[in-house]
Amino acid sequence: MQKRIEDDKQPPRMYSSVSNHESGNRHEASSSRNIKPGKSADELTSSGDNMPQAHEKSPIQASREIKQKYDDDLLDPLFIRITKRLRQIAHELDKHSKYLQEKHYITVPQIITLREIYEHGPISFSELTRIVSLNNSTVTGIVDRLERQKLVQRTRTSKDRRRIDLIITEEGVQFLQNTPPPIQENFVNGLDTMSEEKVETILWSIDTILELLTDRSDHPDPPRSSGLSQ
């Protein structure tokens, strides 16, 4: 009887704890057997998100479709080509103008003005302004600098004493003889090798471009297609 009481006082065995631990181990082993070698569980769960979608367009295909959609509404490539050429011409002229200013201490407008005074002098300020296509204040500044260098001279040659004309001096003529042309030498040499007919065609083209650019209309929209090939 006493032995039975002592047996009852012994603590019960922890069957539930052992069984739960073993069950967890079996679950982990089972899960690990389902994972293929070389890939982690995170890679497996995210691999589906990286699969390419069949309906997605490539950037190149999307770009082509956008071009086809708006191509008819864009400016004709001919006008882009003309603009690029005019900008290149302006850039080359600007480079030569800087060269003249740095090496010969004179600008292209000053050379042009001095040459026109030589050709048409005695000439009034208003007439000179019209010929060189510059405004009054600009021509006045150019003439002032040329006069300080003793290349031109103001004089009164008409009966109207209020009118002042401009004439070139001997120093001015000598300066023109030794000054490079207001445009690149290779351009001048190239024109010398061309026929007179071709030179006239170039001059006509330049005059036509200038006439188109100085149109006084209210800047109408340019035509969308010229029908000309590049």
CATH number for 83: 1.10.10.10
pLDDT, the chain, mean:
77
What pLDDT was estimated at residue 12?
A: 53
Rounded distance, CA 173 to CA 152, Å? 9
* Residue 207: inside a domain: no
Strands (E), the chain: 123-124, 152-155, 165-168
| Tokens linked to 152 | 């031109």
What pLDDT was estimated at residue 65?
A: 74
Q: Could you tell me the pLDDT band of residue 63, with boundaries at 50, 70 and 90?
A: confident
* Residue 222: inside a domain: no
Is the pLDDT assigned to residue 229 strictly greater than 90?
no
Number of domains making up the chain: 1
* Residue 5: inside a domain: no
Is the pLDDT assigned to residue 129 strictly greater than 90?
yes
pTM exceeds 0.75 for this model = no
* Residue 22: inside a domain: no
* Residue 156: inside a domain: yes
Is the pLDDT assigned to residue 227 strictly greater than 50?
no
Closest CA to 14 of 22, 6, 5: 22
What pLDDT was estimated at residue 150?
A: 95
* Residue 68: inside a domain: no
* Structural domain boundaries, residue 139: 77-195
Question: For 57-61, 104-108, 219-223, which range has the lowest pLDDT when averaged over its residues?
Answer: 219-223
Q: Could you tell me the pLDDT band of residue 216, with boundaries at 50, 70 and 90?
A: low
What pLDDT was estimated at residue 42?
A: 53
- pLDDT greater at residue 46 or residue 118: 118
